[in-house]
Structure 1
Amino acid sequence: MRFRFTAPLWEWSAQGGWFFVTVPEQYGDDIREVPRMPRGFGSVRVRVTIGGSTWSTSVFPDSKRGSYVLPVKKAVRTAEGIGEGDDVDVALEVLDL
C-alpha cells in the first residue's frame, strides 16, 4: 500500500518541537481498513520519503484530524530545508499489512 500526497508541516502546540504532516483523510481510511495486530497508540509502521530523505517510522491515529499523523524528525526537516507551514511532498509506504 503506497501513497503520494502533499500536505503542510505543522508543530504540535501541546508539546513544542514535534512536527507532523497529516495524512489525507482518504488515505487514512485506506490504512485503517487493513486488519492488523494492534500496536502501541494504534500506530502503523511505514517507510517515508521526503525529497532525498527516506526513513522508517510510524503514523499515529489522530481523531482531531480524522486521519493519521506522520512525525517528521529534525534531521529530515534540516536536510530538506522545510519548516512549519511548508507544503511537503510525501511518498508513504505502509509496512504493516
Structure 2
Amino acid sequence: MTATLPLRRWQGDRGTYHLVQFEGSDAEALAMHARLHRLEFGKQRGFGSVKVTARIGDTEWKSSVFPQDKQSEWILLVSKKVMRAEDLAEDDRVTVTLTL
C-alpha cells in the first residue's frame, strides 16, 4: 500500500514524535489485516498493532502501525533517523509505502 500523507508532529509526555496517519480505504485494509491475523493466530498484537515494513524515499525500516479511533485511523511513527536521512520536516507531504 502506498499513500502520500502529511508528516505531523505530536508532543507527548516523553518527547516529540513525528507520524503519518492512514485513513479511509488504507485504514480499512490495515484493520482487515489485523482481524485476519487475530483469526489465524487467536490473539492480537500489543495495542492491536500490525507489523509492517515502511519506506519513505530510499529509507526502509521495520515498524508497526497502531490503530486509533476504533481502527478507522492508523498511525506510523517516523523516527528522527528517517527524518534526517530523507531531509523531512513537519507538514511535508511524504510518500509512504507499507508492506504488511
> How many pairs does the alignment contain?
92
The structural deviation recorded for 1:67 is 1.2
TM-score, with normalisation over the residues of structure 2? 0.84
Q: Which amino acid aligns with 2:52?
A: V
Q: Is residue 30 of structure 1 aligned with residue 29 of structure 2?
A: yes
Identity of aligned residues (%): 35
CA contact (8 A) 1:21 1:70 kept: yes
Unaligned runs of 5+ in 2: 39-43
TM-score, with normalisation over the residues of structure 1? 0.86
CA contact (8 A) 1:5 1:24 kept: no
Query: Aligned equivalents of 2:17 and 2:79: distance in 1?
Result: 8
Q: Is residue 42 of structure 1 aligned with residue 48 of structure 2?
A: yes
CA contact (8 A) 1:48 1:55 kept: yes
Larger Rg: 2
Q: Which is further off, 33-42 or 59-68?
A: 59-68
The structural deviation recorded for 1:14 is 3.5
Shift of the 83–64 alpha-carbon distance from structure 1 to 2, 3 Å rule, reads: farther
Query: Aligned equivalents of 2:63 and 2:18: distance in 1?
Result: 13
The structural deviation recorded for 1:30 is 1.1
Higher helix share: 2
Pairing of 1:75-94 with structure 2 (within 5 A) = 75-94=81-100
Q: Which amino acid aligns with 1:85?
A: D
Query: Aligned equivalents of 2:91 and 2:60: distance in 1?
Result: 21
CA-atom RMSD, angstroms? Answer: 1.7
Unaligned runs of 5+ in 1: none
